[in-house]
C-alpha cells in the first residue's frame, strides 16, 4: 500500500519540481530584461540605507551621557536619565500640547482639503481648465518654506503687505499678525493647506480614475444629479485610500510641521507655536545637547509607531481596510 502511494505521488512531485523550475527561469528572464530598472532602483535604495538606516545606530546616545572624546560606544550609560529629565521638565507639557493641537488642527482641516479639491477637479468638464487648476494648486508644493515664509511675511506685513494697506484705507493702525498668539495657529493651518493641498490631490485623482464609468451612467439613468453621484459613488470609492492615508497621518501626530513653524515663529508666539521639533533643534543644535535631543526624537518616533499600530488595529476591526 505504501509503495502504491509513493508511486502515485512521485509523478506529482516531479511535475511540481518542473513547474517551479519553469517559473524560476521565467522570473530570471524578466529580471534580466529589466536590469536597467533594477539599477535605477538601487539609487533610492542606497540613499535610504545611508540616510535612514545607518544613522539608527546613533540612537544609542539617547541612553548615554554623550561625550565627544569618547564617542558613541565608550560614553557612559545614564540609566534613562534624559527621559526622566524630559518628562519632569516644565516646558515638556507646553511643547507636547502645542504639537498635538497644531497636528490635530492640520488633520481636521487639512486632511479633507485635498479630498474636496480632487472631487471638484474630477467634476470639471473642461480639460484645459482642469489642468490649469491642477498646475496652480501644485506650484506651492515645489517651493521651500524659506521662500513661502518670505511671501507670507510680506503679505502680512503691517507696513508693506496688503493687510497693512487695507487697514490704512480704513484709517486704522495695522496689527502685526505674526506676533499675535491668537492668530498664529490659524495662519499655520491656512498656509499649510495652501502649500500642500494640490500635491495631496494626486493620490485621490489617481483613485478616481479607477472608478467604473458605468456606475455614473447607471446613476444618471436612475435620475441622480452630480452632487448625488459624488456623494454616493465618488466619495465611497475613495474610502480605501482615505483610510490608509489617515492611518499614516495619525502616525505623524507629533510631526506638526517643523519647516513651516521654524521659518515663521518668533519668541512672542512660543507659548502657542513651540513644538517638539523646534525644541529638539534648539536643544540639540544651539545648546549642543545631542544626547538629550536624541532622546526627545526617539520619544516622538515611538509615539508615531504606536499610533500607526493602534489606529490600524482599530480600523481593521470595523472594516476591511488598513495598512496591513
pLDDT in tens, 27-74: 888 888 888 888 888 888 999 899 888 888 888 888 988 888 888 888
**Higher-confidence residue: 219 or 19?**
219
Helices (H), the chain: 2-33, 35-48, 71-74, 81-88, 92-105, 112-123, 127-138, 145-155, 162-169, 181-208, 213-221, 226-229, 235-237, 239-250, 258-264, 270-273, 276-281, 290-318
* Digit-coded pLDDT (tens) for 90-103: 888 889 999 999 99
Q: CB–CB of 197/117 below 8 Å? A: yes
As a whole number, mean pLDDT of residues 260-274 equals 90
* Digit-coded pLDDT (tens) for 108-148: 999 999 999 999 988 888 888 888 988 899 899 999 999 99
Identify whether 145 is part of a domain.
yes
> CATH number for the domain including 257?
1.10.3720.10
pLDDT at 166: 85
pLDDT at 16: 65
Containing domain of residue 99, as a range?
90-318
Identify whether 26 is part of a domain.
no
**Higher-confidence residue: 285 or 1?**
285
Which SS3 state, helix, strand or coil, does residue 152 take?
A: helix
Q: Is the pTM of this model over 0.85?
A: no
Identify whether 299 is part of a domain.
yes
Measured between alpha carbons, how far is residue 36 from residues 29, 40, 43, 46, 49 in Å? Answer: 13, 6, 12, 16, 20
Identify whether 84 is part of a domain.
no
Which SS3 state, helix, strand or coil, does residue 38 take?
A: helix
User: pLDDT > 90: what percent of the chain?
Assistant: 18
As a whole number, mean pLDDT of residues 278-289 equals 85
pLDDT at 108: 92
Identify whether 13 is part of a domain.
no
Identify whether 46 is part of a domain.
no
Position 13 confidence tier, pLDDT thresholds 50, 70, 90: low
Identify whether 311 is part of a domain.
yes
The chain-wide mean pLDDT, for the chain, equals 85
- Cα–Cα distance measured from residue 136 to residue 188, given in angstroms and rounded to the nearest whole number: 20
As a whole number, mean pLDDT of residues 306-311 equals 86
- Cα–Cα distance measured from residue 286 to residue 269, given in angstroms and rounded to the nearest whole number: 19
Residue 8: is its pLDDT beyond 50?
no
pLDDT at 11: 55
* Digit-coded pLDDT (tens) for 148-163: 999 999 888 888 888 8
Residue 309: is its pLDDT beyond 70?
yes
* Digit-coded pLDDT (tens) for 198-252: 888 988 998 888 888 888 888 888 888 888 888 888 888 898 889 888 888 888 8
Overall number of domains in the chain: 1
Identify whether 69 is part of a domain.
no
Amino acid at each position: 500500500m505504501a509503495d502504491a502511494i509513493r508511486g502515485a505521488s512521485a509523478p506529482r512531485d516531479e511535475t511540481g519540481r518542473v513547474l517551479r523550475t519553469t517559473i524560476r527561469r521565467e522570473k530570471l528572464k524578466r529580471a534580466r530584461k529589466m536590469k536597467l530598472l533594477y539599477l535605477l532602483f538601487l539609487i533610492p535604495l542606497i540613499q535610504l540605507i545611508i540616510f535612514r538606516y545607518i544613522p539608527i545606530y546613533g540612537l544609542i546616545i539617547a541612553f548615554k551621557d554623550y561625550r565627544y572624546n569618547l564617542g558613541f560606544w565608550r560614553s557612559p550609560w545614564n540609566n534613562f536619565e534624559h527621559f526622566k529629565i524630559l518628562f519632569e521638565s516644565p516646558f515638556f507639557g507646553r511643547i507636547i500640547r502645542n504639537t498635538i493641537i497644531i497636528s490635530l488642527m492640520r488633520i481636521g482641516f487639512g486632511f479633507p482639503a485635498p479630498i474636496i479639491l480632487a472631487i471638484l477637479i474630477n467634476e470639471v468638464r473642461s480639460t484645459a481648465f482642469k489642468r490649469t487648476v491642477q498646475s496652480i494648486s501644485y506650484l506651492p508644493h515645489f517651493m521651500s518654506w524659506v521662500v513661502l515664509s518670505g511671501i507670507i511675511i510680506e503679505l502680512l506685513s503691517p507696513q508693506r503687505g496688503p493687510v497693512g494697506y487695507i487697514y490704512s484705507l480704513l484709517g486704522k493702525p495695522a496689527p502685526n499678525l505674526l506676533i499675535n498668539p491668537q492668530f498664529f495657529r490659524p495662519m499655520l493651518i491656512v498656509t499649510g493647506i495652501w502649500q500642500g493641498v494640490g500635491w495631496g490631490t494626486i493620490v485621490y485623482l489617481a483613485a478616481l480614475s479607477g472608478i467604473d464609468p458605468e456606475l455614473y451612467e447607471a446613476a444618471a439613468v436612475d435620475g441622480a444629479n452630480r452632487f448625488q453621484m459624488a456623494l454616493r459613488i465618488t466619495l465611497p470609492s475613495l474610502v480605501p485610500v482615505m483610510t490608509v492615508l489617515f492611518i499614516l497621518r495619525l502616525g505623524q501626530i507629533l510631526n506638526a510641521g517643523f519647516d513651516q513653524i521654524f521659518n515663521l515663529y518668533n519668541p512672542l508666539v512660543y507659548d502657542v507655536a513651540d513644538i517638539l521639533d523646534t525644541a529638539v533643534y534648539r536643544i540639540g543644535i544651539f545648546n549642543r545637547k545631542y544626547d538629550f535631543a536624541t532622546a526627545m526624537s526617539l520619544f516622538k518616533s515611538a509615539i508615531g509607531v504606536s499610533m500607526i499600530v493602534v489606529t490600524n488595529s482599530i480600523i481593521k476591526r470595523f472594516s476591511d481596510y488598513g495598512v496591513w
